[in-house]
Structures are given as C-alpha cells and as structure tokens.
Amino acid sequence: MAAALSLHDVTLHFGGVKVLQDVTFDVTPGVILGLVGPNGAGKTSLFNCISGHYRPSAGSITIDGTEVVGTAPARLARLGLARTFQHPALQLDATVLENVLLGGHTRLRGGPVSWSLRLPGTVRAEREIRQEALGLLDRAQLGWAANLPADELSHGLHKGVELCRALLSKPAVLLLDEPAAGLSHGEVEQLIDAVRRVRAEEDITVVVVEHHMGLISALTDRVVVLDHGRLLMEGTAAEAQSDPRVVEAYLGKDATDDAA
C-alpha cells in the first residue's frame, strides 16, 4: 500500500544549527501516527516542513506520491493536507461558523469573478459547504455556538472549532499540533473520541505532535520518536515507552542507569 505521507532524508539547517537530520518514515493511509520526543527534538520544525511553513534544506516529502517540498500552504490544502496549531489561529471577531467556513475555501471552484457574480454553481456550492460546516459543529457538540463570536468561547472549545475548520477542507492527511495543550482531562477524553471517530468516518490519515503521553498511548497506532532532530525509533507507543533510548532521551542517562 502506498504511503499517504512519506518523508525521506528530511534535513533542516538554520545557518550552522542542525534542526533536523535525515528524518525518514512513511505513514500508511488510515493510520494515526504520533510524533513525539523531548523538548527541542525538532517535532514542530518537522511539522512546519510538512505543512509548507519551512522549506527543508534537503530531502523529500510526498503526499499520496506527490512531491510537496517548496509547496505553499494554500496549495498543500488543495492537495489534501490540513493542519491545526497548538494555539488555534481563529478570527476572534468572526462567528464560530464563519471560522469553520474558512476551511472550505479550497473546495470552491472558479475564482474571484465567479464568486463576486454569485453564479448559480457558486451559490449552490457555498450552500452545501455551509451545511457541512454546521454538521461538523453539531458532531463536535458545538452547534449551539455557531452564531456566537469566537472570542466568547473557551480555549478548549477553540480547539474544537479549529478541528472542524480543518475537516471542512476534506483532508487526506490531518496534522494535529499539540491538540491537548491547555485542555482539561475531560476535554482530552473528548478529543480522543473525536479523532477516533473522524478517522473511522472520514478514512483520513492523522499525524499528531503531542507531549500528553496518555493521549498518545490511547490514540495512536504507531509513533515516531525524534531526539536532537534525528529519528530515534519507530514502533507502538508501548514499545517507545519501554525503549531505554527513549527513556534516556526524555529523562537522561542517569534514569536508564538507575533502571538497570
């Protein structure tokens, strides 16, 4: 089976600083992959390379077999990539529904002329996307907030709005950047259920960067562990947590010596 997302020897330098070195792994379609590692391991930098915010110094990144290195984020959205951020990037003075609808812009055909003329096809497409957006909010138990300004919602609910916005673009690959950051225990449980449901219903591939190891253990099929910009190991969450190299990367060599 061809990989939904494939990285080969991805390397990133900022001047003389080596942020990523020869990172290589594949993500099989339909898998939920966790990208984990200690602070400074390069996880967010790698996410930024995948999502087009950074251009790698070397290496290849493909989505469904298409090379995407150097592709702008807007173009990547049309190729089936969506991303959420650790700090949700919402238009706080717009309504919740308006924020979600921003995720559907890549699905509108035509251009500024057809949009401004309000041609029948454009109006019909906008109506369909609006109904989908409302449906996503209902499934996320946020339908009640559709017409409220986004700034009236809590941080945890902002995360739900951003996830709905990402899903409205109909992604093949969804990147979740620390989705549990700032959430309560109950909200984390709801997030795990939501992502599982999305994967089952939409048949999408998910890559999640997260420090919350409870979420990683409960949610992911496999994990990739980074340390100092290099791939340290790949396997299940349970295998990662019992791997002495991973324990050393997180806790230091003394921890592994004590365990021995």
Higher pLDDT, 110 or 7: 7
Q: Which two tokens stand for residue 203?
A: 């048949």
**DSSP per residue over 66-119, as a string?**
EE-TT--HHHHHHTTEEE--SS----TTSBHHHHHHGGGGGG--S-HHHHHHT-
Please give the Cα distance from 92 to 211 (Å, whole number).
Answer: 27
**For residue 255, pLDDT beyond 70:** no
Model confidence band, residue 74 (pLDDT cutoffs 50, 70, 90): confident
**For residue 260, pLDDT beyond 50:** no
**For residue 29, pLDDT beyond 70:** yes
Higher pLDDT, 80 or 122: 80
Q: Going by C-beta distance under 8 Å and a sequence separation of 6 or more, which residues neighbour residue 33?
A: 27, 205, 206, 207, 208, 220, 221, 222, 223, 224
Tell me the per-residue pLDDT of 140-188, one tens digit each, with 9 for 90 and over.
Answer: 889 999 999 999 999 889 999 999 999 999 999 999 999 988 888 888 8
Over residues 225-232, the mean pLDDT reads 96
Complete edge-to-edge strand list for the sheet that includes strand 222-227? 81-83, 173-177, 205-209, 32-36, 222-227, 230-235
> Of all residues in the chain, what percent carry a pLDDT higher than 90?
65
Please give the Cα distance from 205 to 132 (Å, whole number).
Answer: 20
Pair 42, 20: CB distance under 8 Å: yes
Looking at residue 186, its amino acid is G
Question: If 0-12 CB within 10 Å is exposed, 13-18 middle and 19+ buried, where does residue 42 land?
Answer: buried
Q: pLDDT value at position 108?
A: 67
Q: Which two tokens stand for residue 43?
A: 């996880």
Please give the Cα distance from 19 to 54 (Å, whole number).
Answer: 12
Complete edge-to-edge strand list for the sheet that includes strand 66-67? 17-27, 5-14, 58-63, 66-67
Q: Is 258 helix (H, G, I), strand (E, B) or coil?
A: helix
Mean pLDDT of the chain: 88
Model confidence band, residue 18 (pLDDT cutoffs 50, 70, 90): very high
Over residues 250-254, the mean pLDDT reads 65
Q: Going by C-beta distance under 8 Å and a sequence separation of 6 or more, which residues neighbour residue 167?
A: 82, 103, 136, 174, 198, 202
Please state the pTM of the whole predicted model: 0.88
Q: pLDDT value at position 89?
A: 83
Could you identify the residue written with the tokens 């990133």?
Answer: 12
**For residue 133, pLDDT beyond 70:** yes
Over residues 210-214, the mean pLDDT reads 85
Please say whether the structural domain 5-80+171-259 has been given the CATH code 3.40.50.300. Answer: yes
Q: pLDDT value at position 258?
A: 46
Tell me the per-residue pLDDT of 43-71, one tens digit each, with 9 for 90 and over.
Answer: 999 999 999 999 999 999 999 999 999 99
Q: pLDDT value at position 254?
A: 47
Q: Is 184 helix (H, G, I), strand (E, B) or coil?
A: coil
